[in-house]
Each structure stands twice: as C-alpha cells, then as structure tokens.
C-alpha cells in the first residue's frame, strides 16, 4: 500500500499541508511541538481506528479554527483510492471514501492499513496486559473485519453484566430478586458465545504471532535467544491447536463462568473472561515481563510490532504502511538498522528531531520539514 499525497488543514496545528510522498521512505523532521506527530496522527485517522494518542474527536480541530480537513490519496494492489475527512465545530463530521459518503470515520476501517509504532509501544511487553490485548485485537481486526464488532458487543455485555453484579451486591441486604439472577443467566449465555469466539480467534492469531515474532527475535539477538508467545486464557485451562469456535467451546466457557459466579457476585464484577486474558512472551522459557531485561523487553516489543506488519502483509497480500513516530531515536544503532532493513518493502513514514541519524541512508527517500504546522519538502 502506498500513500501518494496528502492535504491537511486545521487538524490540530497542521496548516495548508499539501505534499506528495515518496513511495518508499519519508523522513519527517522538525523541532519539538512543530506538528510531526500530528501529521502521523492525521494519516492514522484515515485508517478508521481511534487515535493512538487517544485524542478525542472534539480535539481534532485547531484551537483557533472552526473546521479541519484531511485528504489522502493512496493505492493498494488493486486500485487508486481517496479518503476525505472533514469536521466542523462542535462535532459535525463528513467522511468520503472514493467519493462515496460514509456514516463515520470507523466506516473507513479495513481500507487503508497502517502499523503505527510509537515510544509507548516499546512498553508493549513490559506494560499492562490491556495494552497487549488491544494489540491482538487491533491486529486481528485488520485481517478480519467482522472481529471488531464482536469485541464491541463483548464489551457491551461485559459492562451490562458488571452493572448487574454491582446492583446485586448493593441490594444483597434487601435480598436480590430472582429476576436479576435470570438476567444474569441471559448475559452469561451471550458472554460465553462471544467470549468463546474471541478466544478461538485470538488463540490462533497468537500461534501465528509466535512463529513470526520468534523468527524476528531470533534475528535481533543473532540466534542467541529464543522467543515464544502464548495465549493465556482465564477461562480455559488448556487450549489446543485444533480449537475452533463451536457450541461445545461456548458451553465450556459457560461452565467456567458459572463456576465463578459466586466469586463474581462477591466481587461485584466479572472475574474471568477474555477481558482478563494475557499475551505471554517467554524468552528462553522465562516470562520476559517478569524476568527480562529492559533491552529484552524492547526487542520483544519490536518483534511483536514487526510480526504484526508481516502477518498483515501475508494475509492481505499487500504490505501495510509503517508509521514510526519518534521510535528510532529510542533505539540503539543495531536495532535501528535492523528495523529499517526489515521494512524495506513497505512505505515508511518516520519522524525525528535530529535527521543526522539518516545521513547514511543510501536509498531513495524524501525528507520533509515540519515547522509551526507547515510541511515542506527539503
């Protein structure tokens, strides 16, 4: 996939941006607070996924402006495409894909595929489990469009079930009524179906991830260390490679859920489920998050993100666009060279404050300078 050109105005501090990109490598440099990440974020927005910086839509528009617009022209292996996104204060959004009006930004999902890598992602291995779950879920959704809506539905059922558990706990003294327990049964059945589906899909994705990331990690460490990735379920004790979503799996999930009902009632929330499962990385057999060094954890994160891009390339038969925001300056020379060599077949956008580290880049690239929200080719 290749982004040919971009126009942006009024997205945060971006002003009058009108650029043609290099099909391979785009180096975006500039001092702090000039708009480099805003530019990357504006590209990311066109993927239809919520901002990696968690910007809420009311903050898309520049403080002193009434409207913003972003336009991207890109091509995948089939055709030339165009995304146009504009917004007016307070919250009036208009989205077009190839000239056809879309209901919202999330309708763009699945058209422009990007993998974004920020300094925060270097914490993927060491950080909290929800980051790793989000990582799996986003990676899977990029391959399987329908998966995202199942996750959303699960979130809804989970919050309704938790709300009910809390109410039952509060009303315990006045004796909870049987109607509430009947409703709990209803949520359990729905949760078991959705949860079993998510488990099976995640499990197989993680097996694939383990193969790809394992290979990459092995290369990063010049064959000295081995990485394996596991999916740790809080619901199923053993998941085998032939697991797939069916009634039996949903029933087993339901049984586990029932066995924890008393604990859930006592806690006032759902104590097991895919919302508590873990992605576990082991280096030479040991859990990296607990026993690994800082450098090992960073290499695991790097391997996971590269694996995400590689799996996406294989599944979609089209390489995603790689957005590296500020991440290279955080890495040592060897890892920096490694990552650049591994994404040679993809279009890359990278930001940096100091472009001297790219003086030795041999290949064809374009360099842009960002200053006060304005972008110019240098």
Ligand X SMILES: Nc1ncnc2c1ncn2[C@@H]1O[C@H](COP(=O)(O)OP(=O)(O)OP(=O)(O)O)[C@@H](O)[C@H]1O
Binding site for ligand X (CB under 6 A): 12-13, 30, 32-38, 59, 62-63, 326, 353, 370
- Rounded Cα distance, 297 and 316, in Å: 28
Q: How far is the CB of 160 from ligand X (least distance, A)?
A: 34
Q: How far is the CB of 327 from ligand X (least distance, A)?
A: 11
- Rounded Cα distance, 235 and 242, in Å: 17
Of 284, 294, 339, the residue nearest 125 (C-alpha): 294
Q: How far is the CB of 340 from Mg ion (least distance, A)?
A: 19
- Rounded Cα distance, 187 and 277, in Å: 19
Of 141, 148, 150, the residue nearest 316 (C-alpha): 141
User: Please, which residue, 44 or 236, has the CB nearer to ligand X?
Assistant: 44
- Rounded Cα distance, 46 and 305, in Å: 20
Binding site for Mg ion (CB under 5 A): 36-37
User: Please, which residue, 36 or 126, has the CB nearer to Mg ion?
Assistant: 36
User: Please, which residue, 186 or 353, has the CB nearer to Mg ion?
Assistant: 353
Residue 297 binding partner per list ligand X, Mg ion, none, with a CB distance cut-off of 5 to 8 Å that depends on partner kind? none
| DSSP letters for 92-108 | EEEEEETTEEESSGGGG
Task: At 232, list the tokens.
Answer: 């740790």
Q: How far is the CB of 90 from ligand X (least distance, A)?
A: 13
Q: Which residue is nearest to Mg ion (CB)?
A: 37
Q: How far is the CB of 10 from Mg ion (least distance, A)?
A: 19
Q: How far is the CB of 358 from ligand X (least distance, A)?
A: 16
Q: Which long-range contacts (CB under 8 A, 24 or more apart) does 18-25 make?
A: 19/368, 19/375, 19/377, 21/347, 21/349, 21/366, 22/347, 22/364, 22/365, 22/366, 23/347, 24/347, 24/348, 24/363, 24/364, 24/365, 25/347, 25/348, 25/350, 25/361, 25/363, 25/364, 25/365, 25/366
Q: How far is the CB of 118 from Mg ion (least distance, A)?
A: 8
Of 313, 354, 320, 361, the residue nearest 337 (C-alpha): 361
For residues 297 and 289, the answer to whether their CB atoms sit within 8 Å is yes
User: Please, which residue, 227 or 348, has the CB nearer to Mg ion?
Assistant: 348
User: Please, which residue, 8 or 151, has the CB nearer to ligand X?
Assistant: 8
User: Please, which residue, 280 or 325, has the CB nearer to ligand X?
Assistant: 325
Q: How far is the CB of 32 from ligand X (least distance, A)?
A: 3
User: Please, which residue, 36 or 275, has the CB nearer to Mg ion?
Assistant: 36
Q: How far is the CB of 104 from ligand X (least distance, A)?
A: 20
User: Please, which residue, 34 or 210, has the CB nearer to ligand X?
Assistant: 34
Task: At 99, list the tokens.
Answer: 């000239």
User: Please, which residue, 63 or 78, has the CB nearer to ligand X?
Assistant: 63
Of 58, 24, 17, the residue nearest 39 (C-alpha): 17
* Strands annotated E in 168-277: 227-232
Report the helix count and the strand count for the chain, using DSSP H and E. Answer: 9, 15
Backbone angles phi, psi at 301, to 5 degrees: -60, -45
Residue 33 binding partner per list ligand X, Mg ion, none, with a CB distance cut-off of 5 to 8 Å that depends on partner kind? ligand X
Q: Which residues does 341 contact at the CB level (< 8 Å), separation at least 6?
A: none
């Amino acid at each position: 996939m290749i982004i040919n050109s971009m126009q942006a105005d009024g997205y945060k501090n971006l002003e009058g941006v009108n650029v043609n990109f290099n099909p391979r490598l785009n180096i975006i440099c500039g001092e702090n607070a000039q708009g480099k990440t805003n530019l990357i974020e504006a590209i990311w927005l066109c993927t239809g996924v919520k901002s990696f910086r968690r910007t809420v839509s009311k903050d898309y528009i520049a403080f002193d402006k009434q409207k913003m617009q972003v336009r991207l022209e890109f091509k995948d292996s089939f055709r030339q495409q165009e995304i146009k996104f504009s917004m007016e204060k307070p919250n009036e959004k208009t989205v077009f894909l190839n000239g056809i009006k879309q209901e919202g930004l999330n309708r763009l999902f699945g058209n422009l595929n990007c993998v974004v890598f920020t300094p925060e992602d270097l914490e993927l291995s060491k950080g909290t489990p929800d980051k790793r779950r989000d990582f799996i879920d986003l990676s899977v959704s990029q391959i399987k469009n329908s998966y995202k809506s199942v996750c959303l539905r699960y979130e809804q059922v989970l919050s309704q079930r938790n709300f009910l558990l809390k109410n039952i706990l509060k009303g315990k003294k006045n004796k909870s009524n049987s109607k509430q327990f009947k409703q709990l049964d209803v949520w359990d059945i729905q949760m078991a179906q959705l949860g079993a589906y998510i488990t099976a899909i995640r499990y197989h994705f993680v097996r694939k991830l383990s193969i790809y990331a394992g290979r990459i990690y092995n290369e990063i460490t010049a064959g000295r260390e081995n990485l394996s990735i596991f999916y740790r379920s809080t619901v199923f004790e053993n998941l085998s490679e032939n697991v797939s979503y069916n009634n039996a799996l949903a029933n087993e999930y339901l049984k586990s859920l029932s066995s924890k009902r008393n604990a859930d009632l006592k806690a006032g929330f759902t104590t097991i489920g895919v919302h508590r499962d873990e992605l576990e990385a082991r280096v030479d057999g040991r859990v990296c998050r607990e026993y690994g060094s800082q450098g090992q954890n960073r290499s695991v994160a790097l391997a996971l993100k590269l694996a995400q891009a590689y799996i996406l390339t294989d599944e979609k038969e089209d390489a995603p666009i790689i957005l590296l925001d500020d991440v290279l300056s955080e890495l040592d020379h060897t890892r920096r060279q490694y990552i650049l060599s591994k994404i040679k077949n993809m279009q890359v956008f990278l930001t940096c404050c100091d472009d001297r580290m790219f003086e030795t880049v041999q290949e064809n690239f374009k360099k842009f300078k960002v200053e006060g929200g304005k972008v110019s080719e240098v």
